[in-house]
Structure 1
């Protein structure tokens, strides 16, 4: 049995939400682009691998930081003046936080987590 969680996030200014390193950062134009980028970052090891090779000693990076969830789903929509993001995954919050920070920096807020 997996521990799937439903994460509810909010981004106040998606147009300016970018990670600190442009080679890892989200570069889309709207909620659907962000949802696709985050879903790919959760399902595939590619973003982690790009980050890993940028580290001073890539071989010393803990491989567990690169875990993925092939069944992760992400949706995003504009609501009022912000973007609401819904993530369903069995990845721990620490991994979701890592991928979000690479993609959009600290431009997001977690509002709720519930069992999926």
Structure 2
């Protein structure tokens, strides 16, 4: 079952995760595109997994992908709003966002898609 996640990046310049996994964009469209890519394929997950002390011990469920995930972004004054529609489980979705944005994001709402 797909869910729609409403995310806010209150200070987009602080929405940076680990140096090897972080968002690099500065526009709403760029943030949306990077998150969509992270949901549609496992490249971000595989880079993160390879950096772990025991890559083989990482839960493979964290590598879930949704090739039909859609993310839109909109600049609203100084913050950015993202809407992600995906069937990826919530815990995996949040893990990807933490990799990309660190703790500089807010989950505003979740609804069925």
Q: Which residue is 1:62 aligned to?
A: 59
Give the match's secondary structure for 2:82. strand
Match of 1:73 among 70, 84, 106: 70
In structure 1, what is the Cα distance between the partners aligned to 2:95 and 2:14? 19
Unaligned ranges ≥5, structure 1: none
SS in 1 for 2:88: coil
Query: Could you tell me the TM-score, scaled by structure 2's length?
Result: 0.96
Deviation at 1:79, TM superposition (A): 1.3
Contact 1:15 1:30 in 2 (8 A): no
Q: C-alpha displacement at 1:102, in angstroms?
A: 0.4
The runs of at least 4 aligned residues of structure 1 exceeding 3 Å deviation read none
The residue aligned with 2:83 is: 86
2:35 counterpart of 1:7: no
Q: Partners in 2 of 1:81 and 1:57 — Cα distance? A: 40
Q: Distance in 2 between matches of 1:67 and 1:107?
A: 23
Q: Per the alignment, in what secondary structure is the counterpart of residue 40 of structure 1?
A: helix
SS at match of 1:42: helix
* Alpha-carbon contact 1:9-1:85 (below 8 Å) kept: yes
CA RMSD of aligned residues (A): 0.9
**Count of residue correspondences:** 113
1:13 & 1:103 partners in 2: Cα distance?
14
CA–CA distance in 2 between the matches of 1:74 and 1:23?
A: 22
Q: Taking structure 1 as the reference length, what is the TM-score of the superposition?
A: 0.93
